[in-house]
Structure 1
Amino acid sequence: MLEEVFQMNQVEELVKVVAEAQTDKGNVVIVTGKPGSGKSKVLREAAESQKWTYVDCRMLISEEFLAIPAADRGLYAPDMFADILASYNADVIILDRLQTLFVPVFHINTDSLMRKLSKKFTIVTAWPGYIDNGNLCYDKFDGTEAIRISPDGFKIWNVEG
């Protein structure tokens, strides 16, 4: 029971953060937290309670996208993904499993992608990595550095779990 109340308070907090982001240009909310802290659960519950569109990033990787030569995918991804998201007719898009887009063969610059998508939608996503020296970080499975993104222009909200 206490966990449900705590979770609901976090959903309410996230809703407020998203409302603030919607008044800004470049409206991206990055949800951070330790592994297992409930980032995805809060996103799903907020999507349900607010009727926001919840999209698993794996759904963005279409056959059409994969047919593009690998080196050109990063160029076409923002427009292709924006078209897919526009079909939902939603202002707020929850992007879960963001790490799907980190696969090197996709050649997607996730930072640039989110910034471009945020011109059309409010993007809310769970960051699957950690924060180090003020940057959003995600490492490859072998522990080597993979992605470092400056959070400038993004709203960062941390799940307490």
Structure 2
Amino acid sequence: MNYLRRCLFLTLLLCLYTQALFAVIEVYEFEEEQQHQQYERLIDELRCPKCQNQNIADSNAPLAKDLRQKVHEQILDGKSHEEIVQYMVDRYGDFVTYRPPLRPVTYLLWFGPFVGVFLVLGILVWRTRRMARVAQQALTQEEEAALAHLLSQNSTKDPIE
């Protein structure tokens, strides 16, 4: 029994140890602290083109790993923040940034929600005004006479029938 417990314990320990081998942490070295801060800001700002709404800092996709490596290389080459972002946009399109630029192609993206809200508000105002006008209209003498006739016919009938 003691031998069985020892084997089970060693097997469990081996499983836990091999799990730690799969946990890879990327470590990039920089010459200055400012470069490291720029790197962190860029990988948080750039979106992974392969993943659904994940930045390259949080993504485990191989493409995100390559992009982090490319950002690191460009920072060490002395590229500015704007140059690195422009390189990524040139290569992967505007999708790689969370804030696409304002161009005729992206007008709907930027202004569509506002146009939709104003359109809905306009329709609501129009409908409420229209309903108020309909409710305020007075009956003509002919309509009043027809209504009185219908009410008098209905009141003469026995409600039990």
Q: TM-score range by the shorter chain?
A: under 0.3
**Greater relative contact order (Cα 8 A, min sep 6): structure 1 or 2?**
1
More strand by percentage: 1
TM-score after normalising by structure 2: 0.20
Per the normalisation by structure 1, the TM-score is 0.20
From the two aligned structures, give the one with the greater helix fraction: 2
